[in-house]
C-alpha cells in the first residue's frame, strides 16, 4: 500500500507538491531559528568567559567588592604558589593569571615631547611562557591586524582603532601612566609592535595587550595578579560543575577573615549577567517552543485543509465500497510520507544554512557602534543534537495530527446520502 500511495503522490502534484513545500519551509525556519538563538547565547557566554570572567575566577575579597574600579592595590599576592596548588587540586582545569588596569598611553615625538595621548583599558596576560593557552583563548594571533606578536615583556599590542586615531606607527615608543600596586604613580615605557581588532566594541576602542611579566614590572606587582581565571575542560561552561568547584574552594578559606584572602566565583556570579543569562536562556527556549507550536499549527491546518478538500474523493471511495478504516489509514499514510519528505528536505536545507551561518556569521557591527557590552559583533548559529530532530514535531507530527483530525469526518458520513452529495 505504501508503494501505491507514494506513486499516487508523485503523479498528483496537487496532493504532494504544496504540502511538501509547506512542511519543508516550516522545518527549515524552525531549525534555523533554534540554531541561531542557541548560537547567540553561546557566543555571548564564550566572549565573557574568554575576556572577562573565565568559567571561575579567583580574586581577593577586597578586590571583588571593588572589581569595577580595577583596584590592583588589593590584588592577590603569592599567585605562583596559589596556581601551583590549583593545578594540583584541579588538574583537569586550565588556570591563568591576569592583570587588568587602566591608564594613559603617551606617545612622544622625536624630541621626547608628548605627540598624542589616549586612555587605555589594559590587560596583562601570559604571552611568552612555553605552552601558554592565553594566545588561543583570547584568539590574539588571529586578531592581529598589523605587525607581529610580542616576543619580549616590554612589547605591546594596541587596538587598531586607537592606533589610527592617535597615528601610532609600529615600532613607536609608548609610555604608560597608571598607578602601581602600592598606590603611587607608575610610569613605564613600552614598544608598540602590533595592532589588534577583536570584533568587540569594548575591546576595540582602547585595548592594550602586554605580557603579564612586563605589566607586573611596570605596576610593581611581582608575584601578584588582579585575578586568576579557571577554565573547565573542553572549553564548555557548566554552571553545576563550576558551582561545585567554587563551594569546595571557598570552604577552605571560610575561616580566613583577611580582606586579601582569595575568594572564587562562577561566571554567572561575576559577570553581572546572571539574571540576564537565565532570562535569555529561558526566553530563547520559550520563544523556540512558541515558534515550534506556531509552525505546528500552520502545518496542522494545512493537513486539515488538505483532508477537507478531498471530501468528494472520499465520498467516491466510500460509494464504491472501500471501508472507512482503510480510507482513514491511507490518508494517514500519505501524511506520514509527506511529513517525512518535508522533514528530511527541510532538515537538510536548514542544517546547510545553519552551518553556513555558523562558519561565516552575521556581521552586525554597523548597528553596534556605541555598545559597551562584552558581546561579539558577528552572530553565529550553533548546531546541537537538538537541531537534528527539532523539526520533527512541526514537520511530521503536526502534519499527521492535522490529517487525523480531518479524517475523523470519514466515520461520520452516511453511505445512504453519498449519491445525493455526489449529485450536488
5 three-class SS: helix
Q: Are 390 and 30 in contact (CB under 8 A)?
A: yes
Q: Are 351 and 387 in contact (CB under 8 A)?
A: yes
What's the pLDDT at 374?
Answer: 46
Distance (Å) of CA 343 to CA 190, 263, 293, 334: 59, 51, 16, 14
**Closest by CA position to 142, among listed 196, 201, 194:** 196
CB atoms within 10 A of CB 6: 15
Inter-helix orientation angle 324-360/311-319, to 10°: 150
Q: Are 194 and 22 in contact (CB under 8 A)?
A: no
Dig out the grid coordinates for 131 from the structure.
605552552
Measure CA of the first residue to CA of the last residue in the chain; give whole Å.
Answer: 31
Strand pairing report for 144-147 and 185-196? antiparallel
CB atoms within 10 A of CB 157: 27
What's the pLDDT at 372?
Answer: 44
What's the pLDDT at 82?
Answer: 92
CB atoms within 10 A of CB 1: 9
Q: Are 24 and 345 in contact (CB under 8 A)?
A: yes
CB atoms within 10 A of CB 183: 11
Q: Is-above-0.85 flag for pTM?
A: no
What's the pLDDT at 373?
Answer: 45
pLDDT per position in the chain (424 positions), as tens? 556 555 555 555 566 677 788 788 888 888 888 888 788 777 777 878 888 888 999 999 999 888 888 888 899 999 999 999 999 999 999 999 999 998 999 998 888 888 888 899 899 999 998 889 898 888 888 889 899 999 998 999 999 989 999 889 999 999 999 998 888 889 999 999 999 988 777 777 888 999 999 999 999 999 899 999 999 987 778 888 988 999 999 998 888 888 889 999 988 777 666 666 666 566 656 666 676 677 666 656 665 555 556 666 767 777 777 787 887 787 788 778 888 888 889 999 999 998 998 888 776 655 555 444 445 556 778 888 888 888 887 777 777 777 777 677 666 666 656 555 555 5
d(CA 23, CA 16): 11
120 strand-pairing partners: 103
What's the pLDDT at 272?
Answer: 62
CB atoms within 10 A of CB 78: 12
Q: Are 156 and 208 in contact (CB under 8 A)?
A: yes
- Name the residue with cell 509527506: 338
DSSP character at residue 168 = P
Which residues neighbour 298 within 8 Å (Cβ) at sequence distance 6 or greater? 22, 26, 394
CB atoms within 10 A of CB 141: 12
Which residues neighbour 74 within 8 Å (Cβ) at sequence distance 6 or greater? 60, 62, 63, 66, 259, 260
Residue 158 has phi, psi (to 5 degrees) of -130, 165
Strand pairing report for 207-211 and 262-266? unpaired
Amino acid at each position: 500500500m505504501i508503494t501505491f500511495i507514494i506513486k499516487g503522490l508523485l503523479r498528483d502534484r496537487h496532493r504532494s507538491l504544496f504540502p511538501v513545500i509547506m512542511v519543508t519551509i516550516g522545518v527549515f525556519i524552525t531549525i534555523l531559528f533554534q540554531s541561531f538563538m542557541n548560537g547567540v547565547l553561546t557566543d555571548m557566554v564564550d566572549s565573557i568567559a574568554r575576556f572577562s570572567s573565565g568559567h571561575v575566577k579567583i580574586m581577593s575579597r577586597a578586590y571583588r567588592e571593588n572589581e569595577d574600579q580595577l583596584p590592583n592595590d588589593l590584588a592577590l599576592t603569592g599567585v605562583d604558589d596559589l596556581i601551583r596548588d590549583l593545578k594540583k587540586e584541579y588538574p583537569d582545569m586550565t588556570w591563568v593569571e591576569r592583570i587588568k588596569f587602566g591608564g594613559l598611553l603617551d606617545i612622544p615625538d622625536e624630541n621626547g615631547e608628548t605627540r598624542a595621548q589616549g586612555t587605555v583599558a589594559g590587560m596583562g596576560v601570559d604571552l611568552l611562557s612555553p605552552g601558554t593557552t592565553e594566545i588561543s583563548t583570547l584568539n590574539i594571533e588571529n586578531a592581529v591586524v598589523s605587525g607581529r606578536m610580542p616576543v619580549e615583556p616590554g612589547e605591546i599590542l594596541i587596538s587598531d582603532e586607537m592606533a589610527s586615531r592617535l597615528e601610532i606607527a609600529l615600532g613607536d615608543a609608548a609610555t604608560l601612566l597608571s598607578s602601581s600596586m602600592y598606590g603611587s604613580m607608575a610610569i613605564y615605557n613600552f614598544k608598540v609592535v602590533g595592532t589588534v581588532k577583536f570584533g568587540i566594541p569594548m575591546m576595540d576602542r582602547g585595548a592594550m595587550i602586554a605580557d603579564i611579566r612586563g605589566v607586573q614590572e611596570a605596576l610593581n606587582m611581582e608575584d601578584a595578579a588582579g585575578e586568576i581565571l579557571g577554565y573547565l575542560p573542553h572549553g564548555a561552561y557548566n554552571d553545576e560543575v563550576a558551582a561545585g568547584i567554587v563551594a569546595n574552594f571557598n570552604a577552605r578559606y571560610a575561616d580566613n577573615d583577611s580582606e586579601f584572602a582569595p575568594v572564587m566565583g562562577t561566571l554567572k556570579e561575576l559577570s553581572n549577567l546572571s539574571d540576564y543569562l537565565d532570562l535569555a536562556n529561558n526566553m530563547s527556549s520559550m520563544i523556540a517552543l512558541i515558534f515550534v507550536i506556531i509552525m505546528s499549527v500552520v502545518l496542522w491546518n494545512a493537513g486539515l485543509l488538505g483532508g477537507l478538500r478531498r471530501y468528494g474523493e472520499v465520498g467516491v471511495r466510500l460509494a464504491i465500497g472501500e471501508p472507512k478504516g482503510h480510507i482513514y489509514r491511507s490518508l494517514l499514510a500519505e501524511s506520514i510520507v509527506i511529513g517525512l519528505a518535508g522533514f528530511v528536505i527541510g532538515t537538510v536545507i536548514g542544517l546547510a544554512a545553519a552551518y553556513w551561518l555558523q562558519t561565516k556569521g552575521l556581521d552586525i557591527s554597523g548597528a553596534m557602534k556605541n555598545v559597551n557590552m562584552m558581546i561579539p559583533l558577528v552572530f553565529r548559529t550553533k548546531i546541537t543534537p537538538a537541531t537534528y530532530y527539532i523539526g520533527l514535531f512541526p514537520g511530521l507530527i503536526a502534519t499527521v495530527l492535522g490529517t487525523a483530525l480531518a479524517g475523523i469526518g470519514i466515520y461520520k458520513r452516511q453511505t445512504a446520502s453519498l449519491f445525493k452529495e455526489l449529485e450536488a
